[in-house]
Amino acid sequence: MNGRERLLESFRFGKPDRPFRWECVAFWKETIERWQGEGLKEDPNKYFEMDEQISFLGFSSEIPVNSGFTSNPYVPKLETVLVSEDETSRVIRDGNGILRREFKQGAGVSMPQWLEYPVKEKEDYEDLRKRLDPEDPRRFPPDWGEYRERFEDRDFPISMGICGFFGHLRNLVGPEKVSIFMYREPEFIREVLDHWTNFNKIIVEKVKKQIDPDYMIVWEDMCYKTGPLVSPNLFEEFLVPCYRDLCNHLRGIGIENICVDTDGNVDALLPLFIRGGISGMVPFEVLAGNDIVKIREKFPKLWMLGGLDKKALTRDKRSIDRELESKVPPMLESGGYLPSLDHAAPPDIPLENFAYYMKRVREIEARYSRA
């Protein structure tokens, strides 16, 4: 099997010759810098022989279609502006129109302080909406018509990322005010969500005419350590209909695999995501209480990536062995699972421990390999 066939077989809960290798979704810049000091000489994806993966439309500059992912895809883009700075921090207004303060030292390993969001009243939305036209030709490169031929007979998987419904709202009004607006201005929220549903339908269909994505990945990041940032009742009322509409449309044009990326404890929202049509989920952070083995028992046909505690890799090899042996065998037996850390690899993981983790994952995978 090639990489594309292997991943699609996993999505189908089939029997790939071996698991698709994507044991870590990303690496912090500070992690790479540490590992280079410990002897790493090249890209860790290549060094550890992960399968070739092109995540595009929002992830990669190779195919520069502006569909958004963690950011709202404004055209023309909002300029990032330095508002003020002192000895320790700077205040910027970023490409989402959000005012934030960030530390100068350790900016990559600390969260900024979110000061102000662009939509305070519903009237503030009108100018931003003008920049969210899916028909704007500036979203696509001048040579877009050539991409069908370029990717038609590929042997590797490609994905398309879009900004989710809660993700879009939080970029507009902030996570706290999402719920407030849902109570006080429900018709405004429905207007925004209707527009966002149609935006994604149109732009994904335009992409599908040229390239056949193997899966969609929707960014939400709508949970924290103990639960969701919006109540399940509000999620069911406002967001499930949007997911159902979008997922039905995507499957109607031939895109079957639709995954959500959200941090935090997702337990209360999983049945609602599934009801909305989502078929997969990442990354199942362990410190937030996600247990992929228990989740698999509740949702036997939910495709999953992640769920392996990255903090185990900061300790010792015995901790790594315990984590892997308790989760990877039952998950591979159930199917529809890619062994992977529960988020990007942080800089407190020694290179030696990460290399041991990769070696042990491959050894366990070999028990289930048909290669």
User: What pLDDT does 59 receive?
Assistant: 41
Structure tokens at 115: 């000061």
Cβ-based neighbours of 121, under 8 Å, separated by 6 or more: none
Each residue's pLDDT tens digit, 321-353: 999 999 999 999 999 999 999 999 999 999 999
Average pLDDT, the chain: 92
User: What pLDDT does 60 receive?
Assistant: 42
pTM over 0.75: yes
Q: List helix spans (H) across 139-268.
A: 147-151, 165-173, 175-184, 186-208, 232-234, 240-252
> Is the model's pLDDT at 370 over the cut of 90?
no
> Is the model's pLDDT at 58 over the cut of 50?
no
Structural domains of the chain, with CATH:
21-53+293-371 (no CATH), 55-74+131-155+157-283 (3.20.20.210), 77-120 (no CATH)
User: What pLDDT does 53 receive?
Assistant: 67
Give the Å distances, CA to CA, from 346 to 108, 236, 254, 323, 331: 10, 34, 37, 17, 24
